[in-house]
A and B are shown apart, each in its own frame.
Chain A
Amino acid sequence: MRLTCPLCGERDRREFYYKGDAIALNRPAPDAGTDAWDDYLYLRDNPAGVTKDLWQHELGCSAWIVVERNTVTHEVLSTALASDVKKATK
């Protein structure tokens, strides 16, 4: 498996650390209530298809990266710096 770091370019999977669903970028407000926090912390979809994950280029540039991939075909569809994704949603 190869992932394209937006900074370093295409690299081997061994350089990356996997975190999980990119939901971590959508942290609720502190007073959003228990339902929103329960959802954020514990409830995950398990899609057969396109999903977005957070990976870190741990042995490379250390950037956090949003990787869009297909769990059925194993295609990697896109990658973006998590910092850019977060800035765009602000």
Chain B
Amino acid sequence: MVNLVAKSPCAALLPLSAGNVTLTEQHPDALTSVAPFAEKEVEVSASLTVTHGVAYPAVNHAVGKDGARAIWFGQGQAMVMGGKVSDDLVQLAAVTDQSDAWAVMRLQGASSADVLARLVPVDLRSSVFAEGDTVRTELQHMMASITCVGTDCFDIMVMRSFAKTAVHDLHAAMKSVAALSI
């Protein structure tokens, strides 16, 4: 049988660094979008607590840590990162396996919010956007999910087909910000 080699969305593109900021690819085991059916959010939350140790996230918030995280991902929807969700969850929510469908990148370093300020029309400085906060917004011209996962540390998700463009735009912004301190 042919043995196919899995290629991640940002393979051969990352890691990159400029100034004090690094951009690396994240490799969650699985990505699952979960859209609870009407009135089922509490039961969905209970199921996610069993499988991932996280509740269903509130609007504009993410819960959990590396390895098991649930990110609010738009109206009525969360993206669950980590292991697989329960098979029974399909009784409570629209569940779609999105593994391999999204590029997940981590932007880290003292100037990372300055880098994002060049690409994103939302204030992501630590004074207003702290660990556990998330936004669906625009990254340059791409729809993106951006989550603060720690001090000066952001997880950025774009659709896989945008991976190369997103890396290009992020790298250009990283170099521009780094040039300011030369």
> Which positions in A face B, CB cutoff 8 Å?
7-9, 11-12, 14-15, 57-63, 81, 83
Contacts and interface: CB of A to CB of B under 8 A. Distances in A.
A60 B121 contact: no
Main secondary structure of the interface of B (DSSP, over half): loop
Most B CB atoms within 10 A — which of A14, A58, A61? A61
A59 B159 CA distance: 12
B181 interface: no
Interface of B: 59-60, 74-75, 121-122, 135-138, 143
B138 A14 contact: yes
Given A8-B135, A60-B137, 20 more contacts: A7-B59, A8-B59, A11-B122, A11-B137, A14-B121, A14-B138, A15-B137, A58-B143, A59-B137, A59-B138, A59-B143, A60-B74, A60-B136, A60-B138, A62-B74, A62-B136, A63-B74, A63-B75, A81-B75, A83-B75
